[in-house]
Chains A and B, each alone.
Chain A
């Protein structure tokens, strides 16, 4: 007797395993190219910890050990997808360098960023807006670091804590409040007081809490009421920018025929067949593993430091210290290409975005390579 609901067979052109930025980018691009895609995930990915731009790192330093220069691959395609799901983006032209601003006042190279985000080419005069009660909002320290040795002026101001605020409020709660009508008018009146009398030629950067659903409307309203443009810089986690993007990507994916399945992948077998722990099985043309490797929990680290991949039933290597993390992972996107399994994002050894600030370049590039190989094998 068939065991329906347990041994469900559902066919897909590609099964993507994971729910972080690399998984969504792969799944979204495949769907956009007309493939039938199923995204299988165990839990939430790291989008809510990511401000939302495609960070570039330093192209000269990226992946010193890589045999090919793959920084910059897939960036245009990633932007196209973001725009398709309704996120207006900006992009540096060839040869140009743009930088986003971190909450500690560092400048970080970027290649594509949502229109709501602050990015500059050269250091420029700036007003940094702080928010009282927002964790890690430190406009004075941020300003001090930012202007150091750059010959620019960086002014700061601080908005008071919002009405109803308590010490448990994080960036997401600020954003939910500013998303409401009451929150938006509070913000605009506070901003207009705080910015009164400041030099209108200065750009204004504010923490990334300008709503979740109504961000564009809020920014337009600020521009109309205050007569100046305001952009956001990413906060520490949780990151409202990533939540905004994932929300839009997820809705777009669902209504355009993408399917998501919650479950734990037990194994990927020849076929390829993706088996879930609860017995469901998915038959597919190719598998994209975007499980995050060590950092995302897709690999198990055992107490003796050995690293194991439970999906492919493989020993991956050994870690003795945190500095080994970059070296442990699949050796390349196409290491298992013959089995029609492709690995993307943080699962690939050699990328070290925590050190190199190039997470965006990593996922754009690895996804691009995987998609080209899927195209070839199809």
Chain B
């Protein structure tokens, strides 16, 4: 096990338990305190086996954000997951899903249809993404000068399934007078998926590789803009705090970037008065709430409401795993149904899950802005 700072600092206040979304809906789930710091102390003492239920943690990091003494609760649970005994088929499945940079493999499987899903311990009852790979040769332009050049980080989900959001981001940034360059054309992964699944050593290896590639590709840019909150948090904070990798350039989410450069955003015309916002758990745990609310205001929406969820239960590939079907549905169903309503969220997999379970018309922040300022999108 990798030694973690403050692993043994727990003061047993249980605030992490009160912050945990899974603890609220899964009455069998032992909760972050038992699975994290309590387990760690026993493991250090006597190498106890994994506790039942540890795999149900979504790695939303709400526990860590709540902890008053900075115990790395979620990271301890990730280490706990790594000693869980699993049947071979689940181990293989987890290996595949923890390598989203090779998502073209599952993307090809998706085309085969869902009947095979249970055989691979996948959840056949949840909505799956539709492959929509990015044509990376067409994406991005050459910079015209250094002070208007920004980099857009293409995460694995966007690369395989969400060319529309990348196209929208590039169109919007161009309309703002920036010269967006795409980084991550090579299939790399920031390590988020492996880390959440408890494959900690693998996550570190992937992060280091991605860090090398990004540092190499990065020119003299104003900022690196991310399109997915989980990758954003991973690159922005996990790379430094968990893997000791320095940031080569400031990393900022698409919504925050627009907020900071609102003077360059063309006048928006919102398609409706009202919009629902869901800030994903990882973006809130990393930076706090408000960027998407701010973006919705900036786009001219007058009735802005929040889905009011801490974690929607999608959690990357979590909802696609068969054993998490019930918990991931319960997590999102707390929000209620919003058929046909416009909803913006900052993660692709969360978007699919929320769209399926609430009936809302879910868009990414980049798609929302492109829609409101009428940017031409082609990719």
How many Cβ-Cβ contacts under 8 Å join chain A to chain B? 104
Smallest distance from the beta carbon of B336 to chain A beta carbons, Å?
A: 11
Answer yes or no: B91 CB below 8 A from chain A CBs: no
Q: Count residues on chain B whose CB falls below 8 Å from chain A CBs.
A: 47
Chain B, residues 7-24, CB within 8 Å of chain A (1/0): the string is 000000111011100011
Smallest distance from the beta carbon of B263 to chain A beta carbons, Å?
A: 13
Give the chain B neighbours of A176 by CB distance below 8 A.
23-25, 27
Give the contacting residue for B251; candidates A5, A8, A43, A243; CB below 8 A. A5
Chain B, residues 267-306, CB within 8 Å of chain A (1/0): the string is 0000000000000000011111110011001000000111
Answer yes or no: B340 CB below 8 A from chain A CBs: no
Given the known interface contacts A43-B68, A44-B19, A260-B290, the answer about A5 and B14 at a Cβ–Cβ threshold of 8 Å is: no
Cα-based distance from A246 to B65 in the complex (angstroms): 15
The residues in A between 111 and 128 inclusive whose CB is less than 8 angstroms from any CB of B are: none
Answer yes or no: B96 CB below 8 A from chain A CBs: no
Give the chain A neighbours of B14 by CB distance below 8 A.
48, 170, 237-238
Answer yes or no: B222 CB below 8 A from chain A CBs: yes
Answer yes or no: A302 CB below 8 A from chain B CBs: no
Answer yes or no: A308 CB below 8 A from chain B CBs: no
Answer yes or no: B257 CB below 8 A from chain A CBs: yes
Give the contacting residue for B15; candidates A3, A43, A262; CB below 8 A. A43
Answer yes or no: A4 CB below 8 A from chain B CBs: yes
For chain A, the bracket of interface size reads 35 or more
Q: Is the CB of A173 within 8 A of B15?
A: no
Q: Is the CB of B257 within 8 A of A4?
A: yes
Q: Is the CB of A172 within 8 A of B293?
A: no
Chain B, residues 23-40, CB within 8 Å of chain A (1/0): the string is 111011011001000000
Answer yes or no: A251 CB below 8 A from chain B CBs: yes
Cα-based distance from A76 to B122 in the complex (angstroms): 55
Answer yes or no: A305 CB below 8 A from chain B CBs: no
Cα-based distance from A361 to B250 in the complex (angstroms): 45
Answer yes or no: A259 CB below 8 A from chain B CBs: yes
Q: Is the CB of A168 within 8 A of B222?
A: no
Closest to B330 in A: A180
Closest to B147 in A: A1
Give the chain A neighbours of B304 by CB distance below 8 A.
255
Q: Is the CB of A262 within 8 A of B290?
A: no
Smallest distance from the beta carbon of A285 to chain B beta carbons, Å?
A: 18
Cα-based distance from A176 to B293 in the complex (angstroms): 29
Q: Is the CB of A172 within 8 A of B288?
A: no
Answer yes or no: B308 CB below 8 A from chain A CBs: yes
Answer yes or no: A190 CB below 8 A from chain B CBs: no
Smallest distance from the beta carbon of B276 to chain A beta carbons, Å?
A: 10
Chain A, residues 24-52, CB within 8 Å of chain B (1/0): the string is 00000000000000001111100011000
Which B residues lie at the A interface, using CB under 8 A? 13-15, 17-19, 23-25, 27-28, 30-31, 34, 65-70, 146-147, 220, 222-223, 236, 250-252, 256-257, 260, 284-290, 293-294, 297, 304-306, 308, 334
- A to B CB contacts below 8 Å, 5 in the list: A1-B147, A1-B220, A2-B222, A43-B67, A43-B70
> What 10 pairs between A and B have smallest CB-CB spacing?
A5-B252, A44-B66, A259-B290, A5-B250, A261-B288, A48-B18, A262-B288, A44-B15, A260-B288, A4-B223
- Apart from A5-B250, A43-B66, 19 more pairs, CB < 8 Å: A1-B222, A4-B257, A5-B236, A8-B256, A41-B288, A43-B70, A44-B18, A48-B14, A49-B13, A170-B17, A176-B27, A237-B13, A254-B293, A259-B288, A259-B293, A259-B294, A260-B288, A260-B290, A263-B287
